[in-house]
Structure 1
Amino acid sequence: MNLLLVIGLIILLGTIGGRIFKKLNLPQVTGYIIIGLLLGESFHGFLCGEIMASFAPLLNLALGIIGFMIGAEIRLDRFRRYSKSIYAILFCETLLTFVLVAAGTILVTGKLYMGFILGALASATAPAATYGVLGEYKARGPVTMTTLSIVALDDALALIIYGFASVFARSLIVHDTPSLIKTLAVPLIEIAVSVGIGAIAGIVLHKISIKARERDRILPFALGTIILVVGLALHFKVDPILASMVLGAVVSNLQPADNREMFEVIKRLSPPIFILFFVLVGARLNASIFAQSGVVLLAVVYIVSRSAGKMVGAYIGGKISGARDTVTKYLGFCLFDQAGVAVGLSIAVFTSFSGINDEAKSASILIISIITATTFILQLVAPSMIRYGIKRADEMNRNVTEDDIIDEHKVKDVMGEDFFLIRENNNLHQIIDIMKKSEAYNFPVVDMKGDFIGIILLGEMRDTLYEEQMDSLILAGDLVRDINAVVYAEDDLRMAIDMFRQTGVDYIPVMENRGSRHLVGQLEYKKIADYLMKEVMMRQKGLEI
């Protein structure tokens, strides 16, 4: 099948699904996943296994960009401020999740090694959907920052736990005694290689960005480096997300002000890639997995114990470290998502365990079934839980720029409605009396019907003020200045801002509707700029991170 046709359909349908879910006040990420599920083999079958396999490079690129953008949030100055609470929460939520899931699994299956493996897989939190939802709702604040830090770090901790757990599980199956050196070395080597790739690439990218100041070169350098890092990680069979996170963190911490534009460029590029990624994630899920014998009970136990571990662990960690109340109460809601690392490790379990013996093969099939089934549920539930957490913490729509606020407003939302009108037949004395009542610089002039005909500028009145003997002869109609730049009350504010910038004027009259010259308001560039600055400051007030 034509791959470009498939990509186009995925992005268009994913966008439609996301918009529908946004209209329903639900996260767009869930809409992308639902579209993917409907297009996948569970239902329509459009995205079959052969097509899915051809998208592997794009999926890896998406993971790389997600990791890079998460790494950008790992700023050392922030870590110095929050390190105590972050590390306390990280260890509490990760270890408690491991313990609770392991205990629940052992109670249901009676297998100690099953508990070790599923407990280790449950400890990871997927960064992709978490980052996507936080970005969608422009979240900013302590809960958001802590969430991004936790999901950036607990993959590494989950890999360590899995390394230990898998060796012990293997020994329990084959009745062997695991080597302590091997148990410690394997996960630590994988983490070290991932960190090394990301760190070296980050330093190189930073050096290149200093020398290549042309804006049009930022994207190819940054994107090329991300792709290279992902490729090297896959070549060395280490975690590409972790390597990309380190890349983003290194670049972010080396002269962050200089590298800010790089992250903005990648961020503007990422929406269609993210849509493609989440639709394909949904297509990979198999709804029929729930009907398999023995999966339902264990899946329920897994989800309940994992959710409890994340929420209670985050609460305990927050209390121990003295984190803010909002972090203690609501962080757990932001740690539900499961995907990348858990799915990848479940595949690793299937690959490495299925050849040991029949018991190990059956166990590995059950593990990959549980992870697939629970990932399906958690990826549908997690975005709504994240949204609930950041909403309760009052961190939604806080990470905004002036451009974001401009895009939210219509002209009528910000136009000035308290102004003095000058009639075209007003004489000079009447005009001066009106001007004395106002501190404005621009005064709109209307004809006898009340229709707008132009403006009088205070600065252009200086010479006229000396013509006192001509007071009754000089009328407003003689002084009026034509103005072609007009907007309408229902226009987007973006249109007005663009008009200000393109024409260089500092005043634009606002008409009631198209075809009308009835003046209902006015826009002054300085006042709008002040409003936008104050709005940004107000939304971010109290959320210093």
Structure 2
Amino acid sequence: MDTPQYALVLLMLGTLLSLSILADFIAGRTAIPRISLLVLIGVGVAVVQQWVLGQSAGVLEGLSEPLIQLALVMVAFLLGGEFTWDRLRTLGPVVAVFSFSVVLVSGLVVGAGLWLLGFPLILAVTLGAIAVATDPAAVTETIHEQRVAHTRTGRLLLSTVAVDDGWGIVVFGLAMAFLGWHGSGEGAQAVLTALWELGGAVVLGVIVGVPAAWLTGRLAAGEPTRVEAIALILLLAGGAALLHVSELLAAMVAGAMVANLASHHTRSFSEIEYLKWPFLVFFFVLAGASLDLGNLQVAVGITLAYIALRLLGRLLGGWFGSTLVNARRGALPRGLGMALTPQAGVAMGMALLAGERFPEFASTLMAAVVVSTVAFEAVGPWLVRMTVARADSSDNDNKQDGDITRD
């Protein structure tokens, strides 16, 4: 990279971080979600690059992929930290049944629906897996804002979103393995490759996570722990790329290892939580900037179909899950799945990873997921408020609720 290119890259990175501060300012004074603003900044970059400068899609060539990978590994590692034995025992079978029902039904509705509408199998299966993911921050903030976190419904939704993206990562890994096997046509070799992608990710997560758990308990908080956290993320991202395994699953397994085995596991998670936002800024902006604006017209149909089918899948998944729970305890309204509509970073990360594997569908996938993410982030909090308000009145009518996480 020559000096002008080097200077331009540094200026671009500084500009993106500066614009994120402006996005924070606007989001704090309006009802527009911060994530949507960052994605729209990226779309603005795409407009300037493709329509004004006449260049091809993509920005920060050579740097965008590692920045995105690091952001995704951080998010997945933090998600893995939610899967402690104590927490899983506390969640109870009701949360497991409800969350699995929403995941299964919404994924099947989107995947089967798109396939029946005539879209390619790769797009249908990939978007079916992506549909499973939820934005836990948007749901959690809205529930606390409505002051219903103590109700039966509030506790169920908070517990569900805590593990929902974990389900999503597993489903996405299975979907990618299936598509690799289906498209290969090499029989046993394709099966072994698919198994390695998932099993190898688990092995990598254990190999990195167990020593990290041992080390975390022996370091004082501060600079050494920060260095350990950065080393952990780099090892996971680089190892997954080198071994061709799922980086999301590997990072989630490593996070679970540290959370369950380390005596001071919160230190690493706190450091990564502290470090992740600048990387997420690059991630959301670069995701928006990766849009191929010339392909938007082609992607309109699948984008609208994906939005409609995901809303239907959430509605039916919530209805099915509530029916199963009501058979056990009762008192849950049927439309709870609509409170799980917000979708953000994990979904876009899945789309980017799938686009790398299936480049012929990359532009269509990114268009569908970026546009739908902005839509879901915009209407999602309103759907959460509407759902919990209806559920809150149901809770008030039924006083036998008990603790949903221990049923």
Tell me the TM-score normalized by structure 2: 0.78
1:309 paired residue among 299, 306, 313: 313
Secondary structure of 2:117's counterpart equals helix
- Count how many residue pairs are aligned between Structure 1 and Structure 2: 370
Contact 2:314/2:337, CA 8 A, preserved across alignment: no
Which residue in 2 is equivalent to 1:341? 350
2:195 paired residue among 188, 196, 201: 188
Higher share in strand: 1
Which residue in 1 is equivalent to 2:268? 262
The verdict on how the C-alpha distance between 1:55 and 1:378 changes in structure 2, with shifts beyond 3 A counting, is same
User: Which sits farther off after the overlay, 267-276 or 118-127?
Assistant: 118-127
Which residue in 2 is equivalent to 1:224? 231
The verdict on how the C-alpha distance between 1:272 and 1:64 changes in structure 2, with shifts beyond 3 A counting, is same
Q: Deviations over 1:335-389 (max 9, x none)?
A: 6443222342244234xxxxxxxxxxxxxx4x44432221121221232344335
Q: Write the distance in 2 (CA, Å) between the matches of 1:231 and 1:341.
A: 18
Q: Write the distance in 1 (CA, Å) between the matches of 2:303 and 2:270.
A: 40
Determine if the alignment matches structure 1 residue 388 to structure 2 residue 372.
Answer: no
**Structure 1 counterpart of 2:265, one-letter code:** N
Map residues 142-157 of structure 1 onto 2, 5 A cutoff: 142-157=156-171
Q: Write the distance in 2 (CA, Å) between the matches of 1:73 and 1:326.
A: 26
Which residue in 2 is equivalent to 1:299? 303
Determine if the alignment matches structure 1 residue 248 to structure 2 residue 255.
Answer: yes
**Structure 2 counterpart of 1:148, one-letter code:** A
Q: CA deviation at 1:185?
A: 4.1
Q: Write the distance in 2 (CA, Å) between the matches of 1:187 and 1:335.
A: 30
Contact 2:24/2:34, CA 8 A, preserved across alignment: yes
Q: Write the distance in 2 (CA, Å) between the matches of 1:332 and 1:122.
A: 20
Larger radius of gyration: 1
Map residues 414-425 of structure 1 onto 2, 5 A cutoff: none
Q: CA deviation at 1:17?
A: 2.1
Higher share in helix: 2
Q: Write the distance in 1 (CA, Å) between the matches of 2:39 and 2:84.
A: 31
Secondary structure of 2:266's counterpart equals helix
- Determine which structure has greater relative contact order: mean sequence separation of CA pairs < 8 Å that are 6+ residues apart, divided by chain length: 2
1:16 paired residue among 4, 8, 22: 22
Which residue in 1 is equivalent to 2:392? none
Contact 1:19/1:28, CA 8 A, preserved across alignment: no
Contact 1:64/1:240, CA 8 A, preserved across alignment: yes
1:108 paired residue among 109, 112, 117: 117
Contact 2:134/2:340, CA 8 A, preserved across alignment: no
Q: Deviations over 1:85-144 (max 9, x none)?
A: 4543454334434433344334432x7xx2x43332123348998256468779675423
Which residue in 2 is equivalent to 1:272? 278
Map residues 80-479 of structure 1 onto 2, 5 A cutoff: 80-109=89-118, 114=120, 116-125=121-130, 130-131=135-136, 133=138, 141-165=155-179, 167-168=181-182, 179=187, 185-255=192-262, 258-292=264-298, 295-322=299-326, 325=332, 329-330=336-337, 332-334=339-341, 336-337=343-344, 338-350=347-359, 365=360, 367-388=361-382, 390-391=384-385
The verdict on how the C-alpha distance between 1:158 and 1:269 changes in structure 2, with shifts beyond 3 A counting, is closer
**Structure 1 counterpart of 2:222, one-letter code:** R
Q: Write the distance in 1 (CA, Å) between the matches of 2:318 and 2:279.
A: 31
Q: Deviations over 1:150-188 (max 9, x none)?
A: 2112221232234335544666xxxxxx84x56654433
Q: Deviations over 1:305-339 (max 9, x none)?
A: 23322332243124324598489615653464432
Secondary structure of 2:220's counterpart equals coil
Contact 2:221/2:267, CA 8 A, preserved across alignment: no
Secondary structure of 1:279's counterpart equals helix
Gap runs ≥5 in structure 2? 150-154, 390-402
Q: CA deviation at 1:5?
A: 1.8
